[in-house]
């Protein structure tokens, strides 16, 4: 035991413990954040994390805070994502329906080339607001691990539902329509 308490073995043990701790931290960081899903599963409506990003057209920035009072369908997508190609026309149709009811789709283009994303928007004639998160900095805050993923946010800025995959007509009818009836 005395031998272990000498400076050199002690330093070696400390270095090994530090390396193992660093490895454990890295593994924990790589896992998807499921705190939002867990809170919703337990009947809560967790506050949406802050989101303030440049618009895809580069004109200005748009934040979730600026959309407070509206129902927001927050959709994470990328132009290279195959299911996003099927989902986007559906979201565009819904945008036309919900916009007069003080609600909006908000697209977040992630890990994508700006030019590809703009081509995508032109090809599918998307009119809803789209912001760009090229480095994907905001993904972990929203627990996004795949593409597309959609979160429904109520008029008070709280997350009501998550859909880890492409949304369909039935899902939006079931979750979004009741949300539109709620008041701020």
All residues at 6 or more sequence positions from 71 whose CB lies less than 8 Å from its CB, including other chains: 98, 101, 102, 103, 104, 152, 153, 154, 155, 176, 179, 180, 182
What 3-state DSSP class applies to 82? Answer: helix
Q: Binding of another protein at residue 111 (CB under 8 A)?
A: yes
Among 102, 114, 140, 163, binds another protein (CB under 8 A): 114
Listed ranges 17-25, 44-52, 132-140, 163-171: which one lies at the site for another protein (CB under 8 A)? 132-140
Among 136, 141, 165, 180, binds another protein (CB under 8 A): 136
Report the Cα 32 to chain-centroid distance in Å. Answer: 11
Contact pattern for another protein over residues 80 through 109, marking x by CB under 8 A:
xxx---------------------------
Total residues found in the chain within this entry: 184
What 3-state DSSP class applies to 26? Answer: helix
CA dihedral of 150, 155, 156, 161, whole degrees rounded to 10 = -30
Q: Binding of another protein at residue 137 (CB under 8 A)?
A: yes
Contact pattern for another protein over residues 3 through 42, marking x by CB under 8 A:
-----x----------------------------------
12/47 with CB nearer another protein:
12
């Amino acid at each position: 035991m005395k031998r272990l308490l000498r400076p050199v073995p002690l330093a070696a043990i400390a270095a090994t413990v530090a390396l193992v701790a660093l490895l454990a931290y890295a593994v924990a960081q790589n896992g998807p954040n499921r705190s939002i899903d867990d809170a919703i599963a337990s009947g809560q409506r967790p506050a949406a994390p802050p989101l303030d990003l440049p618009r895809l057209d580069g004109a200005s920035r748009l934040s979730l805070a600026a959309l407070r009072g509206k129902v927001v369908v927050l959709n994470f997508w990328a132009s290279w994502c195959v299911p996003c190609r099927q989902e986007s026309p559906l979201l565009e149709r819904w945008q036309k329906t919900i916009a007069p009811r003080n609600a909006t789709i908000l697209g977040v283009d992630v890990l994508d080339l700006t030019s590809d994303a703009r081509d995508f928007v032109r090809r599918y004639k998307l009119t809803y607001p789209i912001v760009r998160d090229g480095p994907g900095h905001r993904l972990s805050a929203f627990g996004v691990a795949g593409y597309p993923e959609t979160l429904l946010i109520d008029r008070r800025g709280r997350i009501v539902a998550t859909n880890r995959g492409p949304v369909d007509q039935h899902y939006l009818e079931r979750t979004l329509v009741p949300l539109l009836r709620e008041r701020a």
